[in-house]
Structure 1
Amino acid sequence: MKKLFTLALAAIGSFYFGQGFTQIYKDRADLVLQSNLQTYNADLAAKGIRYVGGATPNSTYLANNNAAVNYIKDKLITFGYTDSDIQMHNIGTVSKPYYNLILTKTGTVNSDTYVIIGAHFDSVVAGVGANDNLSGVAAIMEAARILRTIDTEYSMKFIFFNAEENGLVGSTKYVSEIVTNNTPTTADDMKIKIMFNLDMIGGNKTLTNNTITCEADKVGNTTSGTVSTNDAASLAFTNDLIQYVGLYSDITGVLSNAYSSDYMPFENKGYVITGFYERMTNTSTGAIVEPNPTYHKATDNISNISYPYLLQTTKAALGALQHFAVADKSTVVLGASEATDLKDVVVYPNPAKNILNIKVPNTQKFEIRLMDATGKMIIVDKDKTQLDVSRIKNGVYYLILKTAKQSLMESVIINN
């Protein structure tokens, strides 16, 4: 995706907070774990290039694409969802299938009306798209994990769109084949309260990342899409979204217009949309940096994302999502659902020469992966307390440790 945008700062005072701060929503937002986001992001980037454009998709890219969607599905199952909660929507062909993945969570009051949160998981040919858009994918996966046991008044759909990079194919087919069921009448169309899109929310670790663009259908004289009857509602939701960013994260929301991403097929059918898109500034001058220096390049890899920023954008998204879907306010939040068996892990020495030691207290079974910045797996092993890195080229690598209940990623410098 590409955003050509003119920013308009939201002239809304801090005294106005949309639907208002809800402590339990904040408690749930605080359950977001940066280690989980890093792991989802790195694991998916390791699948490789996932571009499925062209008359005949490249067989390797297609296999990578299907490996990625299967990874997402498998993770959702480990969170406690079932096959009946998940729809695999083939937008390819019978001989060369590739899929949107739709996770549905039924509401308790307005079960026939949906709050949709979506992000695309395909990439361009140039690179693995760790930021564009595995950052959005990781955020939705973590939101789905935390909300699995939480009732919401509105039904929810967590949608992982495919083929965004070759013309919004996945979202367009979803709207035409499922939302409107390929019919000219609107009587049986899906009822959607809001479509909330996440596209490129990982920032860049070399820049200042303390704001997020909150996108409305029409801002000032800039209009997105083809329908105007939904403009006012989109702006109202987005103004609320700006407030939720401030309430549930450490970053600030800034108003701007929507653009060519996966909410546009919904907008063009008259549905109300909003979205997140990263907003970075030059650390020295404060000037807005647009686009991200890694945009559609091989450098869009896990080494250039700002994971602390992704943590904040995910918290903001989860806070807003609870308001949009009207999440239960009575369930007691006991703490992170992840175990704490990796909280005291020690990796040393760092930088490492020849041998890398791993001290993992309170657990005996764990998986080890050492990955380079492109997502290539260098070492995959289990239960080892020492790794021989003597033959590995000098540079920055990422060590991923996983137990049955938790994951952790740390950067490691090899200096042989």
Structure 2
Amino acid sequence: MMASERNLRQRGHDMFEKIAEDVRNVIKTASVNRIFGYARDLHRFGSKYITEPGNQKAIEYLTNTLQSFGYEVEQQWFEPRGVRSANVIATLPGTLHPDLVYVISSHFDSVRRGPGADDNTSGTTALIEAARILADHPMPATIQFAFFTGEEAGLLGSREFVRRAVENKVELLGALNNDMVGWANNHKLDDTIRYSNEGIRDIQHAAAFLFTDLITYDAKYYKSTDAHAFYDAYGDIVGGIGSYPVLSSPHYHQAHDVLEIINQTLVTEVSKTTVGTIMLMASSPARLKELQIEDRDGEEIQVRWTAAPEKDIATYLVTYGSDSDHLRSVFVQDSRVTLSGVKSGMVISVKAVNTRDISAWDWVKIIVD
């Protein structure tokens, strides 16, 4: 095992230490038989492209299924390119920070020529099962399960969802988007983490190796996917799982992207990984914002940042240095600190830590000029 992998595994254990038992209790209820059942039902609708009848049937099916889990479901109707369609949204309100929102999403539409069993019924069924097993396990922050229409027509549903979120001033802190997670080119249960944010990437790797049988690769990739809409509006807060580019299916956008090519066990492992990831993110402080150098006198620097939005922050951890093996660190209560011995080229990093001793899922950083 490489040193970098050993390091990631140790950090993964540390990240999940406080909630590992909760995660195991939730994901053990994930069912491959249920996921196959959702897939079979959606496959019967044929093409779910926005102009096809299957699109409306899928909207009704998703709404009814999510309601059966106890959710109040929102249908976001709009008219993309003159065709009426809807996103389907289920919300699990947060117990401590209901105004802070994390999103898990997948598009449910397909290309016109086929049913899209991998692209993207696989992501859709993983998300349905995630919503089911989390329904009775609310987290400190709110989790939204967003099923997008119109991805194959130009990311229409995700852009409409984000437009409304921005318009309504939703404090959206992180997003996972899964797309094409069910085709396997061999016996391995493997998929690719597609991310913009390295902190989220590492949580996904950790969730996979700690709680599932999923083998994960990763690629910094979000453009031309529904994750792009989140990135454009909210910045570097994106993760997720998908087949491109490490694994690419010969059935992509073909009429033979059908139910028989899908490994439903693989889809189930993706669902479990997604649930573990979002449970930690929704239990942790988010990445801080607006870290800046406020004053400097030689090697003494005062930095400040916007206070964390969570109500249960205990302290802030500040590290600085030019070598990760020799970082200085300090804990502070306020959202500013004066540091000594700071030289040009050093990196200053800050994250919040809450009262459960769970630290933020990513650092905010600044390089000293």
Q: TM-score normalized by structure 2?
A: 0.70
Cα distance, 1:242 vs structure 2: 1.0
Cα distance, 1:248 vs structure 2: 1.4
| Whole-angstrom CA distance in 2 between matches of 1:171 and 1:299 | 26
**Any conservation in 2 of the 1:101–1:159 contact (CA below 8 Å)?**
yes
**Any conservation in 1 of the 2:76–2:87 contact (CA below 8 Å)?**
yes
Residue of structure 2 aligned with 1:171, choices 158, 162, 165: 158
Amino acid at match of 1:302: L
Residue of structure 2 aligned with 1:192, choices 134, 152, 172: 172
Structure 2 segments unaligned to the other structure (5+ residues): 285-369
1:16-31 equivalences under 5 Å are 16-17=11-12, 19-21=15-17, 22-31=20-29
Residue of structure 2 aligned with 1:202, choices 182, 205, 219: 182
Q: TM-score normalized by structure 1?
A: 0.63
Q: Deviations over 1:3-62 (max 9, x none)?
A: xxxxxx97854222152241221121111000000010110111111112xxxx3xxx1x
Shift >3 Å, 4+ stretches: 9-13, 93-96
Cα separation, partners in 2 of 1:278 and 1:249, compared to 1, 3 Å: farther
| Whole-angstrom CA distance in 2 between matches of 1:91 and 1:10 | 45
Cα separation, partners in 2 of 1:10 and 1:128, compared to 1, 3 Å: farther
2:229 is aligned to: 265
Cα distance, 1:174 vs structure 2: 1.4
Cα separation, partners in 2 of 1:12 and 1:128, compared to 1, 3 Å: farther
**Any conservation in 1 of the 2:26–2:133 contact (CA below 8 Å)?**
yes
1:124-273 equivalences under 5 Å are 124-176=111-163, 178-181=164-167, 189-204=169-184, 207-217=186-196, 234-259=197-222, 260-271=224-235, 272-273=237-238
1:303 is aligned to: 260
**Any conservation in 1 of the 2:155–2:226 contact (CA below 8 Å)?**
yes
* SS at structure 2 position matched to 1:16: helix
| Whole-angstrom CA distance in 2 between matches of 1:198 and 1:94 | 25
Question: What is the Cα-based RMSD across aligned positions, in Å?
Answer: 2.2
The answer to whether residue 82 in structure 2 is matched with residue 102 in structure 1 is no
Amino acid at match of 1:276: I
* SS at structure 2 position matched to 1:194: strand
Cα separation, partners in 2 of 1:279 and 1:211, compared to 1, 3 Å: farther
1:8-407 equivalences under 5 Å are 12-17=7-12, 19-21=15-17, 22-52=20-50, 57=51, 61=52, 63-81=53-71, 85-92=72-79, 96-176=83-163, 178-181=164-167, 189-204=169-184, 207-217=186-196, 234-259=197-222, 260-271=224-235, 272-278=237-243, 290-326=247-283
| Whole-angstrom CA distance in 2 between matches of 1:149 and 1:261 | 30
Cα distance, 1:326 vs structure 2: 2.1
2:367 is aligned to: none
Cα separation, partners in 2 of 1:214 and 1:93, compared to 1, 3 Å: closer
| Structure (1 or 2) with the greater helix fraction | 2
| Whole-angstrom CA distance in 1 between matches of 2:234 and 2:268 | 32
Cα distance, 1:94 vs structure 2: 11
Amino acid at match of 1:126: R
* SS at structure 1 position matched to 2:207: helix
User: Larger RCO: Structure 1 or Structure 2 (Cα < 8 Å, ≥ 6 residues apart)?
Assistant: 1
Cα distance, 1:166 vs structure 2: 1.0
**Any conservation in 2 of the 1:196–1:275 contact (CA below 8 Å)?**
yes
**Any conservation in 1 of the 2:16–2:280 contact (CA below 8 Å)?**
no
Amino acid at match of 2:10: F
**Any conservation in 2 of the 1:195–1:266 contact (CA below 8 Å)?**
yes
